[in-house]
Amino acid sequence: MRILAIGDITDPQSLEYIAERLWDIRAREKIDFVVVNAENASFITGASAEQLKRLIDSGADVVTGGNHTLQNKSAHAFLDDSDRALRPVNYPPTAPGSGYTVVDCNGYRALVINALGRVNMEPRLDCPFTAVERVLSREEGNFDFAILDFHADAVGEKLVMPHYFDGKISIIFGTHTHVQTADEQIFPKGTAYISDIGMCGHRNGIIGSSAECIIERTVGCMPARYEPADGEISADGVIFTLDSSFKATEIKRVKF
């Protein structure tokens, strides 16, 4: 089984870029299941309901989110209704939407979980490790294999996940930094892991924003408005291969 994960979509143009190509990529790479992180599809303000629907209609089996997802109030009702779009699982239960879903993957039941880190991010949230553990025990017997998008900033926090859940979650990948890491590995009990899968966005800028506005904010310490980057768009991703017992056998970084 081949599963593709695409990194954070940084703006509406980049969403169209991957949406127009995703069915072709699925066919060419013989992909069985696709997870796309779209938390910046509206450019630092989450993704709208229309954008989430566009991705699902374009070949994404599940769309995951992150620290910006719930900022986009237009998506709240869609998140409540859809079993294909997630917000992080460690928000309070009063938050709109769900942090996990079980959907079909070629006759198998894929459990997809989205969790948010707390280091450098949102310390008020529930512990992501115990939140994921609760999902695994609540859904025990209801899924064949599990995938986790851990949307977090610190690699030291991200790496706890595969060490803690090796053999229990087939695929654990990180998102949020928009820079793909080269630390992909398969853990002893069969969990495939990479700290960050990268982004789908414009390359002429700083992780999806224009360099000018980030310089003004960072060097000039001025409250400059964020502007999207420009230049070529490309999409970073990772293809994971699982065997018939849902253990990872291969993990390959890709760019489209």
Write out the residues near Fe ion by the rule CB under 5 A. 66-67, 176
Task: Name the residue type at position 207.
Answer: I
Task: Name the residue type at position 193.
Answer: Y
Set 68, 151, 176, 178: catalytic member: 68
Nearer to Fe ion, 176 or 202 (CB): 176
Phi (first) and psi of residue 164, to 5 degrees: -80, -35
Nearer to Fe ion, 26 or 176 (CB): 176
Nearer to Fe ion, 1 or 86 (CB): 86
CB of 44 to Fe ion, least distance (A): 9
Q: Which residue has the tokens 């995703």?
A: 22
Phi (first) and psi of residue 23, to 5 degrees: -65, -40
For every residue of 122-148, which 3-state class applies, written as one string? CCCCCCHHHHHHHHHHHCCCCCCEEEE
CB of 198 to Fe ion, least distance (A): 13
Nearest to 158 by CA among 188, 191, 118, 130: 118
Nearer to Fe ion, 58 or 175 (CB): 175
Q: Give bridge partners of residue 105 from the DSSP assignment.
A: 108
Nearer to Fe ion, 67 or 82 (CB): 67
CB of 173 to Fe ion, least distance (A): 14
251 with 192: CB under 8 angstroms?
yes
Nearest to 115 by CA among 143, 78, 146: 146
CB of 65 to Fe ion, least distance (A): 8
What span, in angstroms and rounded, lies between the C-alpha atoms of 51 and 244? 34
CB of 151 to Fe ion, least distance (A): 6
Nearest to 240 by CA among 148, 138, 119: 148
Residue 117: DSSP 8-state: -
68 is catalytic: yes
What span, in angstroms and rounded, lies between the C-alpha atoms of 102 and 105? 9
Q: Which residues are catalytic?
A: 68
